[in-house]
Amino acid sequence: MAYALPGEARITGAVFVQNPVLVPRNHSLVSPPVILRLNPAFLMQMDEHRTRSLLQFMAQEGLEPSPEEEMKRKTAIDQLKQIVLAWIKKVAWQCHLPKDVIADASATVLTYGSYGLGVHGPESDIDALCVGPYFATLEEDFFTVLHSMLESQTEVSEIHCVKSAKVPLMRFKFNGISIDFPYARLPAISVPEYVNVFDPSLLAQVDDTSWRSLSGVRANKRILQLVPNLKNFQSMLRCVKLWARRRGVYSHLFGFFGGIHLAILTAYVCQRYPNASASALLCLFFETFSKWPWPEPVVLNDPSIPYRHPDGRSFMPIMMPCSPFEWCHSNITRSTYRKIVSEFQRGYVLTRLQDPGRMEFRWNNLFEAYPYTGKHTHFLQILLTADNDDELQEWVGWVKSRIRGLLLKLEMVQEYCDPNPTENVDHNITEPNIVFYWGLSHKGNTFINIGSLKKDFMKSLNTDQFADGNRNHCKLGLSIVQYSQLPKSLRLDASGAKGSEPCGETLDNNYLQKPVYSQYVPQYFVGYVANEQHRAAAG
């Protein structure tokens, strides 16, 4: 019997090698596994090219504010600090403190969130914490005296208080920039501008509300201390947040990730691969978490963080990087967990299983908006109305703070629910309104008892400030709508929906194994868990 021998194929910068295998000439030829050896110089060139293209994509998307916008924010914070300094001296005088104490009295403003991490965009708001000494109270001095002083400033507009939240705050615009402004009180006579928020002597006697207000600042500062390359971390986190927003997995209240979750996941990858470029880090992000053995917790590499097993209440436990080392608060449910995992896997497929011989990388595919109307045929419509915009804003905020309860009730009758956090407006309704459309499973029960669902959910809403007269003008409506009943702006054409279909499917775990060529690529380019030899080579 005659036999044939497969040959060898080449591409620029790489070589495909097939091992000799003897097969019958007339037998259907089954090619052996292909091994791809990449030239190290080509790898470096490819990585540099992809990083440049990623930075270009970020610029095109407008992810970073202009120098003028950056200066506007810095000026707003500087002016706010001056107002706070004048406020604390006024409070000290009203408390009849000694003149020398009044002269030395000070308070400060600490930024956190996206602005504090340096990953804010042109339209981002600012999370700014007011930190004052022991004699300045939350209810009287912060919500009354400081509120009055801010209200009198020409730069300040749309100011209102949110007292019932777990982290009470004022919310306002300063020269058009939205600012969330909570308060923390420290056991000190004066708070310097750059107070050490890790000082145990200051934190020992802090009240619970102030502790919760301080947690965001402390977590941000610790993350910035732990990442090996700040610039790469910031570039990567900007991209991760854009991806999460576009793919519908960025909304803590709706059962997905919040900003702190994404920051810690990003920092974890940066720590694990300190020598990787921004583009490689983004690929490694999806490589890491598409294969993560949840509920194994994500904990940053820091000797001061004690490892402990999660409490079993979270699908995706992530530990805060600062004392008392608690688990990040999570609203993730069975449905949202499935979607997050699916999106990690989609990101892995798009970033990892690319043609390794090509320089070009189409980043826009990764950040394509999630095709809700291409995935679902039935939707739960959540309509919120009020008499005016201010009441609507408070009503929407209150409902969103309780929305996880509605999601859990839906999961009891639905196999799967996809809570789209996007806020829409129905222009056919005269009252100010906000509308949400949640995707329902085509396998689930579309004959949902809306009356019972609404009655149960309203029980959780009829408390605190909405228990009495304030709720009379705030209404909530629930209904099941089909694709054809959606506003035209939300519908996708059939081709658009089909084109996105393969990207969102849940892949089999066997499909997520290392590609054959990965064993020949350094770990900081590919992202698999390298052996010690590769780690040494990576530095």
- Chunked into runs of 10 residues, the chain (539 residues) has average pLDDT values of 40 43 48 59 84 93 94 97 98 96 96 97 95 97 98 95 89 96 96 94 91 96 97 97 97 96 98 95 96 96 90 92 92 97 96 64 92 92 94 90 94 90 93 96 74 91 62 87 88 43 32 32 32 36
73-223 shares its CATH topology with 372-513: no
Q: Is residue 256 within 8 Å of 262, Cβ to Cβ? A: no
Give SS3 for 252: helix
Give the residue among 211, 222, 147, 221 at the shortest CA–CA distance from 185: 211
Burial class (CB in 10 A: 0-12, 13-18, 19+), 59: exposed
| Residue 83 assigned to a binding site | no
- pLDDT of 47: 86
What is the structure's pLDDT at 467?
54
Main-chain phi, psi angles of 264, to 5 degrees: -70, -40
- Is 532 exposed, middle or buried, given 0-12, 13-18 or 19+ CB atoms closer than 10 A? exposed
Is 337 known to sit in a ligand binding site? no
Q: Which residues contact 469 (CB under 8 A, 6 or more apart)?
A: none
At residue 289, what are phi and psi to the nearest 5 degrees? -90, -10
**Residue type present at position 468:** D
| CATH topology for the 372-513 domain | Alpha-Beta Plaits (3.30.70)
| CA neighbor of 323 nearest in space, from 235, 198, 407 | 198
pLDDT value of residue 311: 82
Token pair of 280 as six digits: 């490689």
Residue from 419, 395, 416, 535 nearest 477 by CA? 395
* Residue 208 annotated among the catalytic residues of the structure: no
Question: In Å, how far are 78, 172, 180, 255, 270 from 213, measured between CA atoms?
Answer: 20, 17, 11, 22, 27
Tell me if 395 sits within 8 A of 402, measured CB to CB.
no
Which of 342-360 are b and which e, b meaning 16 or more Cβ less than 10 Å from the residue's Cβ?
A: bbbbbbbbbbbebebbeee
* Among 102, 147, 107, 112, residue whose Cα is nearest residue 131: 107
- CATH fold of 227-356 reads Poly(a)-polymerase, middle domain (1.10.1410)
Residue spans per domain, the chain? 7-61, 73-223, 227-356, 372-513
- Sequence-ordered strand ranges (E) for 123-223: 126-132, 156-162, 169-174, 177-185
Is-cis flag, bond preceding 295, omega within 30?
yes
The answer to whether the annotation marks 250 as part of a ligand binding site is: yes
Q: Is 180 a catalytic residue?
A: yes
Task: State how far the Cα of 223 lies from the Cα of 152, in Å rounded to an integer.
Answer: 37
pLDDT at 500: 34
Amino acid letter for position 78: D
Beta-bridge partner residues of 109? 130
| Catalytic residue, candidates 81, 180, 215, 279 | 180
Going along 85-233, which residue ranges are E strands? Answer: 108-112, 126-132, 156-162, 169-174, 177-185
Choose the catalytic residue: 106, 114, 190, 290.
114
Distances from the Cα of 457 to the Cα of 394, 399, 419, 441, 453, angstroms: 17, 10, 15, 20, 6
Secondary structure class of 531 (helix, strand, coil): coil
73-223 carries CATH number 3.30.460.10: yes
Handedness of CA 314, 320, 326, 331 (dihedral sign): negative
Closest CA to 208 of 327, 307, 324: 324
Element (H, E) at 53: helix 40-61
Question: Is 127 annotated in the active site?
Answer: yes
Structure tokens at 95: 């408390």
CB count within 10 Å of CB 489 equals 7
How far is Cα 73 from Cα 259, in angstroms, rounded to an integer?
A: 20
**CA–CA distance, 525 with 517 (Å, rounded to integer):** 12
Catalytic residue, from 81, 221, 241, 339: name it: 241
ω before 324 within 30° of 0 (cis)?
A: yes
- The whole-number pLDDT of residue 98 equals 95
Q: Is the dihedral of CA 230, 115, 249, 48 positive or negative?
A: negative
Tell me, what amino acid is at 439?
A: G
Cα 454 from chain centre: 29
Helix residue spans in 297-388 (DSSP H):
334-352, 363-366, 372-375
Q: Are 344 and 269 in contact (CB under 8 A)?
A: no
Read off the DSSP letter of residue 507.
P
pLDDT above 70 as % of the chain:
80
Token code pair at residue 212: 């919760």
pLDDT given for residue 14 in this prediction: 44
250 is catalytic: yes
Q: What is the DSSP letter of 6?
A: -
Distance CA 462, CA 447 (A): 26
Instruction: Find the catalytic residue in 72, 90, 125, 460.
Output: 125
β-pair partners for 37: 15
First to last CA, the chain: 53
pLDDT score recorded for residue 19: 46
Look at residue 31 in the predicted model and tell me its pLDDT: 52
Q: Is 389 a catalytic residue?
A: no
Provide the pLDDT for residue 164.
Answer: 79
Name the residue with tokens 């007339």.
Answer: 26
pLDDT of the residue at 531: 37
Question: Is 311 tagged catalytic?
Answer: no
Distance of CA 302 to the CA centre of its chain: 22
The catalytically annotated residue of 112, 115, 183, 250 is 250
Residue ranges of E strands in 26-92:
35-38
Sign of torsion, CA 263 268 273 275? positive
Residues in the chain: 539
